[in-house]
């Protein structure tokens, strides 16, 4: 079965729009009690299939538990170098660590063994015709990076700052305006 076929099944099974919503103007982040509708930027539209292939590659669903694993994996493989999607992955890692810390860490550790799909010089059309095993082989590193607790703690600190940063800024501004 090709990646294209697996993606079609993944979108159907997870009630996602055709092509992962790459043609939609907005996408939604689902939380326990609410959802956020956000603009679907051109950059996100171009690479959403990459994120979705990662879900398939590691058999992760689209719940926050699955997203936690993928966020850890993405940061370990270096997606943070790609603005603005890297910002979203760092934020997702921070949020996910609060609710599924083990999954973030498992994904991060696994990501040290892989190259990021976003960094491969391969067209979308070519990827879509590959099998899951071929994509796995393409991404698996010959010499995996060593796990470092220090690097993980640094990434988790950065991710939590990205998540809590807007809240800290609102509190600081509110305090400033209440005092003055």
pLDDT digits (tens, 9 = 90+) for 94-130: 999 999 999 999 999 999 999 999 999 999 999 999 9
Domain residues for the domain of 62 are 3-179
Distance of CA 26 to the CA centre of its chain: 17
Distance of CA 16 to the CA centre of its chain: 16
What's the pLDDT score for residue 180?
78
Cα–Cα distance between 104 and 93 in angstroms, integer? Answer: 7
What's the pLDDT score for residue 142?
97
Q: 39 - beta bridge partners?
A: 26
Number of domains in the chain: 1
Cα–Cα distance between 27 and 18 in angstroms, integer? Answer: 12
> Hey, what are 133's tokens?
């095993």
Model pTM greater than 0.85? yes
pLDDT in tens, 22-33: 999 999 999 989
Of the pLDDT bands very low, low, confident and very high (cuts 50, 70, 90), residue 65 is very high
């Amino acid at each position: 079965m090709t990646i294209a076929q697996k993606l079609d099944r993944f979108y159907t099974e997870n009630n996602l729009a055709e092509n992962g919503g790459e043609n939609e103007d907005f996408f939604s982040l689902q939380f326990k009690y609410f959802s956020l509708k956000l603009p679907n930027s051109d950059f996100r539209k171009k690479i959403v299939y990459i994120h979705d292939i990662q879900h398939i590659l590691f058999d992760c669903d689209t719940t926050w538990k699955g997203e936690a694993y993928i966020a850890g994996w993405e940061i370990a493989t270096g997606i943070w170098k790609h603005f603005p999607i890297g910002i979203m992955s760092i934020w997702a890692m921070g949020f996910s660590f609060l609710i599924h810390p083990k999954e973030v860490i498992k994904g991060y550790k696994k990501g040290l063994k892989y190259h990021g799909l976003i960094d491969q010089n391969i067209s979308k059309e070519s990827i879509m015709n590959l099998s899951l095993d071929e994509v796995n082989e393409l991404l698996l590193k010959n010499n995996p990076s060593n796990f470092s607790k220090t690097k993980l703690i640094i990434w988790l600190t950065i991710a939590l700052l990205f998540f809590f940063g807007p809240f800290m800024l609102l509190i600081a501004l509110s305090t400033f305006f209440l005092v003055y």
